[in-house]
Amino acid sequence: MYVEYVRICTNKVSIIIRHKQLERYMINKIEELLAEIEAFTPQNSADVEAFRIKILGKKGALGALMEEFKSVPAAEKRELGQRLNHLKNVATERINTLKEEIGNAAAMNAAKIDDMTRPGSTESVGSRHPISIVKQEIESIFSRLGYTVADGPEIEDDWHVFSALNFPPEHPARDMQDTFFIESNPDVVLRTHTSSIQVRTMERQKPPIRVICPGRVFRNEAISYRAHCIFHQIEGLYIDRNVSFADMKQSLLYFAKELFGEQAQIRMRPSYFPFTEPSAEVDVSCSICGGKGCGVCKGTGWLEIMGCGMVDPNVLKYNNIDPNEFSGFAFGMGIERIAMLKYGVGDLRLYFENDVRFLNQFESAL
Ligand code: DAH
């Protein structure tokens, strides 16, 4: 009986000792692992992954400890459980941080220039459209003479395109420009010239007026190398007291010299426009042959560049400006035509095709 008792006691003691040993072992193991985690310095992401498997993997160190944890008596579970949780958190956090650091370092390495002598790769740069280049150049020349830029709508009414510019109804001058009408309403048109912006400017502003009006215009014309149903114009208008024909001539000579070079000359030929009186066509000396005569100027030595004239007193009256007090001049030119002369472009349609081989040839300082 006593022997039996002693045996049971001894058993109990040995069980208690075994439990104590297990706890000690586990705490030691946890401390060891924490130190190992802290000291771990991987070379690459594969190292980190191997380490993760070793500690947190299914058959890893933490899993083994969890297995042992099952045989820990309930009274001890609390403290050991906390230690195990701590180990798990520290391991997970450290592994995540290492993964991120190694990922960033790899990205930086990839971006590093390994060969400083290697030629750089060039980006292809677009160029401005020749119509934009010429438009800006014309605007810039007139801005130096004190002109500002004005704008207006492309869809207009009869008043702004014709009537206020002294085109009487049924007057044959309306046939000078083949008009697109909108929805068979003869009062709504696509503007045939930028002169309509003159009218809109006079409505808004009292003299002195000095504006330049660039814009797209529309005419019902068959498309060919020298005509298009859509093109661009620039209109100019100058109204003040005592504005004379000589002022106009000098301004346009300055313009021609700025655009085509100091050697450029102009001449004026009498012409007719309903909105100007007197009216003229302006020619510039041919910049290709210097005035001697060539294929471009058809042997004349001159190239037509614009229409101009003194603003008709009727136009001033229609726009509530007193013609006895004020006078002015106006001019209008096609941007495509100026660009053709400036760059030697032989076919108007090229401007609208947007072939990069054509467009890439134009460079602008503006
Ligand atoms: N509007 C005219 C046209 O489209 C161009 C023009 C000529 C405008 C003479 C003017 C001018 O202002 O005075 O053909």
Q: Is residue 259 part of a domain?
A: yes
Q: Is residue 117 part of a domain?
A: no
Cβ neighbours for 327, distance < 8 A, ≥ 6 positions apart: 239, 240, 241, 242, 243, 244, 310, 311, 316
Contact 280/308 with Cβ under 8 angstroms? yes
In a shared domain, residues 158 and 297: yes
In a shared domain, residues 210 and 82: no
Q: Is 199 strand, coil or helix?
A: helix
Question: For residue 223, what is the domain's CATH number?
Answer: 3.30.930.10
CA 177 / ligand 1 centre spacing (Å): 11
Domain region containing 327: 130-365
Eight-class DSSP state of 163 = G
Q: Whose CA is nearest to atom 4 of ligand 1?
A: 193
Q: Is 276 in the pocket of ligand 1 (CB under 6 A)?
A: yes
Amino acid identity of residue 178, one-letter, is D
266 pLDDT more than 90: yes
Q: Whose CA is nearest to atom 2 of ligand 1?
A: 332
Query: What's the total number of domains in the chain?
Result: 2
Closest CA to 249 of 308, 327, 183: 308
Final residue before a domain boundary, out of 111, 146, 175: 111
Q: Is residue 122 part of a domain?
A: no
| 272 vs 157: CA distance, rounded Å | 23
How large is the C-alpha radius of gyration of the chain? 44
CA 241 / ligand 1 centre spacing (Å): 22
19 pLDDT more than 80: no
Most confident of 36-40, 48-52, 199-203: 199-203
Q: Is 235 in the pocket of ligand 1 (CB under 6 A)?
A: yes
Most confident of 14-23, 37-46, 116-125, 136-145: 136-145
In a shared domain, residues 239 and 359: yes
Mean pLDDT confidence for 40-62: 90
Q: Is residue 325 part of a domain?
A: yes
In a shared domain, residues 218 and 103: no
Q: Is residue 300 part of a domain?
A: yes
In a shared domain, residues 92 and 161: no
CA 360 / ligand 1 centre spacing (Å): 31
245 pLDDT more than 90: yes
Q: Is residue 123 part of a domain?
A: no
| 89 vs 113: CA distance, rounded Å | 39
In a shared domain, residues 355 and 303: yes
Ligand 1 atom with least separation from CA of 329: 13
Q: Whose CA is nearest to atom 5 of ligand 1?
A: 332
Residue 315: predicted pLDDT: 97
Determine which helix (DSSP H) or strand (DSSP E) holds 157, and give its type and residue range: strand 155-157
Q: Is 330 in the pocket of ligand 1 (CB under 6 A)?
A: yes
CA 37 / ligand 1 centre spacing (Å): 86
Q: Is residue 125 part of a domain?
A: no
Amino acid identity of residue 176, one-letter, is M
Residue 105: predicted pLDDT: 79
Closest CA to 285 of 258, 259, 263: 263
In a shared domain, residues 96 and 229: no
Q: Is 98 in the pocket of ligand 1 (CB under 6 A)?
A: no
| Range with lowest mean pLDDT among 108-122, 286-300, 305-319, 352-366 | 108-122
For residue 185, what are the β-bridge partners? 182
In a shared domain, residues 239 and 176: yes
Residue 9: predicted pLDDT: 53
Closest CA to 234 of 150, 315, 160, 166: 150
7 pLDDT more than 90: no
Q: Is residue 134 part of a domain?
A: yes
| 209 vs 263: CA distance, rounded Å | 30
| 227 vs 137: CA distance, rounded Å | 23
